[in-house]
Structure 1
Amino acid sequence: MAAESDRLARRLGTGDAVVIGLGAMIGAGVFVAFAPAARAAGAGLLLGLVIAAVVAYCNATSSARLAARYPSSGGTYVYGRERLGPFWGHLAGWGFVVGKTASCAAMALTVVAYTAPGLGQPWRGLLAVAVVAALTAVNYRGVHRSALATRLIVAVSLLVLACAVVAILVAGTPGGEGLTPFPGAGPAGVLEAAGLLFFAFAGYARIATLGEEVRDPARTIPRAIPVALGIVLVVYAAVAVTVLAQLGPAALGASADPVAQAVAATSWAPLAPVVRAGAAVAALGALLALVLGVSRTVLAMSRDGHLPRGLAAVHPRFGVPHRAEVAVGVVVAAVASVADLRSAIGFSSFAVLTYYAVANASALTLGRRAVPVVGLAGCVVLAFSLPWTSVAAGAAALAAGALAYVVRRA
């Protein structure tokens, strides 16, 4: 049990929690996941989006019920430990940390790709490191300040996406033929697309991992998760349909910057640089929220001895787990300096789906089992529908975490 002086201050309300979730989901999905999903399934990515949303809803519902009962930092790490046993809590926490570390690196690389598209190594890696360092410094100064910064970033991102959708509908040439999933989209491709698109929905975990920092968590967390998820689903559906109709499945799958490319193909082409700037801002918002959530899980695992206990310290002035945040920032910077964006997405999706599988299994012990059963089955199916390289790398990382647990117990 953590000492009272190591407890985090409860500063966040429902609006702050919703915005943190929006910042993670919107930045991660709209500007990153649609292109690889289109390569996997063509127009079937729309079906994949629906499947990913159903699984995300089940996960959100299970997480909300668990977070209301266990309102402390750590998310599914805490739920798995309390409901299933220490090993499952450790595995969930490990999956979250390694998966979201990859997500953080992906977001840093996304910022660099949109702000400096022609930059090569080693300068691309150095710029990604600088981005991570700046966002870590914002989080270090206090979670309330991070929530305010995220609110501004989310507002800018939503405005830019709205402008892109309007530009395509008003000044573009969208065609309905690009929205027909069959023929051309097989079940395996649709499931792979759903697994990749799930990466875009996973931001609501940030809300659950902030359980120790929200006011009245039993009421705030169950409200914030579905609100954030519903807003994001509407945004994703609007962007996916318009971009797919404008570019078509083949061009969408081949594009590194699909939303901007779709706008550039309209008579409002001068708006494309604004969209690129908005993509960078959205990725910054995602990185801000991701580092926030990963550091809180590191805090919880350090308190229990699964990670070095020195990382459990809370800053006496800013009220944040400063050592955990610095450690996460250093690891993310190292990964971002050498990683590939596409492989980071697949690896993160596999690890995070494992994390939510433990969440649904934990929720099964609370009764009302229909939703967690669907969520658990969906997580397993989507995880093993990802590219085999992502499955192999993710399984190896989880096996390393399990081995670490066994060695520590021995």
Structure 2
Amino acid sequence: MEQKTKLKFWSIVMLTINSIIGTGIFLSPGGVAKQSGSMAPFIYICAAIFAVILALTFASASKYTKESGAAYAYVRTAFGDDAGLYVGITRFVSASIAWGVMATGVIKTAFQIFGYSSADITFGMQTVGFIILMIVLFIVNVMGTKIFSLVSNLSTIGKCVALVIAILAGIVIAMMTGNHMAEVDALVNADGIKVVPEMTTTNFVTALVAAFYAFTGFESVASGAEDMEEPEKNLPRAIPVAIGIVAAIYFGIILTAMMIDPVAMVTSSSVVVLADVFQNPVIKNIVVIGAFVSMFGINVASSFHTPRLLEAMAHRKQVPSVFAKRNAKDIPVNAFIITTLFAIVIPMAFAYDMKGIMIISTIARFVQFILVPIAVIMFYYGNTKNPTVETAKKNFTTDVVVSVLSLVLTALLLFKFNWAGSFSTTTEAGTSLNYFAIVSMFIGYVIIPILVYFYAKKQK
């Protein structure tokens, strides 16, 4: 029998970077700059600090179990099957939504490379491109872990190289043309009203959440732990290393972009906002192609994480066991197919409106960001409902202090977040509630978990 190939330490680091750097850094800067103006680089620093703290918490949790499922496995181990089920199924829904966001970005960027503007891309064109992308990802996955690892590593290197080139070019341009960062704070619209609002606590938090989206993805890396070599040892080391690399790249690209042309960041209608900062066509094309590689790479990562979460739940008989079956290449094909359907249908239902599905995807993660730190504290003190916690080297600072800090920061963000603004739409006729987004949240985080709960109870 052929020995199963598993991801080694640096492949896990690459996968983590690939899971984080994607649509967020290419699409979110405009919205962040519009909320925070010249403070945008500072906002990204704050988002990076928050991400590092949370990542350390998830890294600590990964020491205590070899099970796949990431937050699902941690919460189930700490609180029992019912709590784990809720986190697992809502994680699956949010991960599918996030995959849909990233797939939407890939298709729109591909059309931009071929000269199409956002207005030129029809619903039908987007849908055809979407299905083709999913077929490509299916082929990459069914060819086995070795091929998947190669594609993941190459896309990670490609996106990092493109961003580093943009940073270096930006430094040279900024040295030649000067710092224009303050111009965005004075920008006004046709009615003479300032585009960038005054920096209030609410605006700061809203901008921070938007920036934080660019750092999400680390929480899903452990979903495929059983396909990794010594996950209880390698994951706690790989996740912080990857976050540090990502934070350095993000700060560099946002700072140089804001110094060159912050007004373009705020007013751009392009899919890849960062590309409009650069006037040089060569650099602009490098950024656009880098965005495409980046977004494709994070789709590759999502196609690895999300099906394995469903598979982990199937092993526990909380969802149909058919999703636990693997093919000859040791890939959970059935779980992949149903996940792909979710990732296609949800963006189609939102008519590929990236802002709407991006907000829902981000907010949904906060359930994990509350329960996982509590689980880590329980692991440290040995107070769990499940006796399968692996023997791990305990550390009071990372396991308790950092987890408490994660809880405090998450609570502050949830308290100060602009909930009303995020679930409303503003048009010339005025502002109204986005009922479609509200209903989608209710179905994804109330109705589906209830149905899965009763299925799991019936199986028992």
1:283 to 295, 308, 311: 295
1-structure distance, mates of 2:155, 2:84? 33
1-structure distance, mates of 2:39, 2:275? 21
Q: How does 1:59-74 map to 2 (within 5 A)?
A: 59-74=54-69
Q: How does 1:4-403 map to 2 (within 5 A)?
A: 9=4, 11-117=6-112, 118=116, 119-172=121-174, 173=177, 174-177=179-182, 184-248=198-262, 250-255=263-268, 256=270, 257-264=272-279, 268-315=280-327, 317-337=328-348, 338-367=351-380, 368=396, 369-383=400-414, 385=417, 387-388=419-420, 389-390=422-423, 392=438, 393-394=440-441, 397-403=444-450
Contact 1:39–1:253 (Cα < 8 Å) also in 2: yes
2-structure distance, mates of 1:278, 1:202? 19
Contact 1:22–1:154 (Cα < 8 Å) also in 2: yes
Change (3 A) 1:381 1:139: farther
Change (3 A) 1:51 1:395: farther
The offset of 1:206, in angstroms, is 3.5
Q: Deviations over 1:185-213 (max 9, x none)?
A: 22111111221222221222232212111
Give the alignment's TM-score, normalised by structure 1: 0.90
Change (3 A) 1:395 1:335: closer
Q: Deviations over 1:343-402 (max 9, x none)?
A: 111111011222222211211213432211221232344346155345845465222244
Contact 1:41–1:190 (Cα < 8 Å) also in 2: yes
Which residue identity does 2:14 align to in structure 1?
V
Aligned CA-pair RMSD:
2.4
The offset of 1:106, in angstroms, is 1.1
The offset of 1:10, in angstroms, is 5.7
Which residue identity does 1:234 align to in structure 2?
A
Aligned residues: 399
Q: 56-65 vs 285-294, which deviates more?
A: 56-65
Give the alignment's TM-score, normalised by structure 2: 0.81
Contact 2:38–2:181 (Cα < 8 Å) also in 1: no
3-state SS, counterpart of residue 379 of structure 2: coil
Which residue identity does 1:399 align to in structure 2?
V
Contact 2:36–2:199 (Cα < 8 Å) also in 1: yes
3-state SS, counterpart of residue 314 of structure 1: coil
Q: 186-195 vs 34-43, which deviates more?
A: 34-43
Contact 2:13–2:238 (Cα < 8 Å) also in 1: yes
What are structure 2's unaligned runs of at least 5 residues?
187-195, 381-395, 424-436
What are structure 1's unaligned runs of at least 5 residues?
none
Contact 1:141–1:318 (Cα < 8 Å) also in 2: yes
Which residue identity does 1:15 align to in structure 2?
W
3-state SS, counterpart of residue 199 of structure 2: coil
Q: Deviations over 1:214-252 (max 9, x none)?
A: 11222211110001100000011001111122222x531
Q: Deviations over 1:142-188 (max 9, x none)?
A: 22321210111111111111121222221353424259899832211
2-structure distance, mates of 1:46, 1:378? 19
**Which of the two has higher C-alpha Rg?**
2
Change (3 A) 1:223 1:397: same
3-state SS, counterpart of residue 74 of structure 1: coil
Change (3 A) 1:383 1:109: farther
Q: 277-286 vs 317-326, which deviates more?
A: 317-326
Contact 1:243–1:258 (Cα < 8 Å) also in 2: no
1-structure distance, mates of 2:237, 2:342? 33
Contact 2:264–2:276 (Cα < 8 Å) also in 1: no
Contact 1:207–1:224 (Cα < 8 Å) also in 2: no
